Amino acid sequence: MGDSGRPTLDQIEDRFVELVAGRLSRDEADRWAGRWVLEEGLVWDDLSWWALNLLYGIDLPADENGAFLHDDEQVRAWLSELRDRRGA
């Protein structure tokens, strides 16, 4: 973890990687990110905040059939965008 125990951008990216690979459930990713999004008094850089807010809510249902609001393709696109933005 980074300063004050909060995650680094590398660790946030790792959550996307684990999610895409199927080693982390959407519920686990949501709960992990929610802890940091809801923690008062933490200051984040724009990219970390953007990525955490994508993970927080990643398990939102689209319908009662078990589909997610953001499908796997969208999650992979977010990971790609995160990597692109990090390299910029």
8 Å CB contact between 79 and 13: yes
Contacts of residue 60, defined as CB under 8 A and 6 or more positions apart, other chains included, come to 68, 69, 70
Domain definitions of the chain by residue range:
3-87
**40-87 confidence digits (pLDDT tens):** 999 999 999 999 999 999 999 998 888 999 999 999 999 999 999 999
8 Å CB contact between 62 and 69: yes
Cα separations (Å) of 15 from 30, 64, 72?
A: 10, 26, 14
Query: Which helix (H) or strand (E) is 79 found in, with range?
Result: helix 72-87
**62-73 confidence digits (pLDDT tens):** 988 889 999 999
Q: What does pTM read for this prediction?
A: 0.90
